[in-house]
Amino acid sequence: MWFLFLSPNKLFTAPGRGDVFGLLGFLLVSGLIVALGEANRRGQFARLHQLHVLDAANDAIIELDPANDTIRYWSQGAEKLYGWKTSEAIGKDINVLLKTACSQPLDQSKAALMRQGNWEGELIQTRRDGTEIFVASRSTLQQETKWESAIRLEINRDVTERKRSERELRQAEEQRRAARELAYSELEKQVRERTAELEQSNQQLRQLSAQLIRSQDEERRRVARELHDSAGQYLAAVTLALDAAKIEQQSATGKLEEAATMAKGCASEIRTISHLLHPPLLEELGLASAAQWYVQGFATRSGIQVRLEIPEHLDRLGNEVELVLFRILQECLTNIHRHSGSKTATLRIGSDSQQAWLEVQDQGKGSGDAPSEFQPGIGITGMRERVKDLSGVLEISSEGTGTRVRAVLPLAPKASASS
């Protein structure tokens, strides 16, 4: 300043050392002022450029005070998204202004932002016209420095349409799932009803089969009695008459003897058929005696040797159980004679306190396809129905070394002595 106001006659006078230092200080201060001014100008220009860029963005860009969530900057994108003008939004609490809601408490979201420096999530906010929208929000925290205060920058994007589409897709999927579940439920209901109908039909068929088998047994018993009591008596009377005539008519002795022999043979055959239809030993002495009698007669008639394995003292098993086991015995031995080609067979009968069993084993040709050969008489179906009617089990295994049939029937509990 001294140099600038120097009088003209001293303009070219050489200054002293103090004047030089003063001049240098002046120049330094002036340069600093110019530099600061230029930096401020450039900073304002950069700030204006930044704001222009932010306003050009479609997303809502909002600058907040981290301490109280008040709005410092409100971009044009925010105006378009929320409907609030910049002058109306600046200085307001953003959560109050937009009625912000989040899946987690806002305090927790802010705590995560302060701890991590950033946060992302979805918010539900309300526009000026009262419309609720879904926004995808990203927040970044700039910590306070010596030169600048702390800044929270929030960028929000409207995802309402996407959320609506997702909700519609979920609803459509729930409807499809409900339709499928309803269809499955209806199908299962129909299957259960059909299964119940089939089970009822099968039960009726089993009952009918059991009734037919019982009727067959009763008819056999009746026919056996008729043969024994009626035809047998007639033949016996014929035999007696022939014997008497033989005595009186010596001349016709030969023919009479022949007729008597035929009558006796017929009576024996009828007695045998009667016993086969319903052996009286089965009811009178039990399964063990009836099995021994039948096996002896079968061996004589067929030439097949049958090894019989029965306990020395086999308890009575009950009329129904003994009758079913005897019929299975008859069927199995008949099948062996007619189909297996075996010359030997083994018959085992046993029991304990809870069940009785019968097993027939031959050494015939067998078959890989089990029991296709067991068709005569009541056949496999009849045997199975008899066993099933008494809640038993019938097992048939056929191999190259023969066929084995095993029937197991439960026994009714015996009454105690005190009862």
List C-alpha distances in Å: 51 to 147, 195, 268: 20, 76, 127
Looking at residue 49, its pLDDT comes to 47
Looking at residue 81, its pLDDT comes to 92
Looking at residue 418, its pLDDT comes to 45
Q: SS3 helix, strand, coil % of the chain, rounded to 5?
A: 55, 20, 25
Residue 316: closest CA among 308, 325, 307? 325
pLDDT 10s digits, 137-169: 999 998 777 666 788 999 999 999 988 888 888
Dist. CA 115–CA 119, nearest whole Å:
10
Looking at residue 419, its pLDDT comes to 41
Which helix (H) or strand (E) element contains residue 101?
Answer: strand 101-102
pTM beyond 0.75: the answer is no
pLDDT 10s digits, 188-228: 888 988 888 888 777 777 776 776 777 677 766 666 666 66
Looking at residue 372, its pLDDT comes to 43
- The CA angle 130-134-138, to the nearest 5 degrees, is 120
Dist. CA 83–CA 89, nearest whole Å:
10
- 8 Å CB contact between 135 and 122: yes
- φ/ψ of residue 367, rounded to 5: -160, 135
Looking at residue 285, its pLDDT comes to 82
Residues of the chain with pLDDT under 50: 11, 48-49, 368-377, 417-419
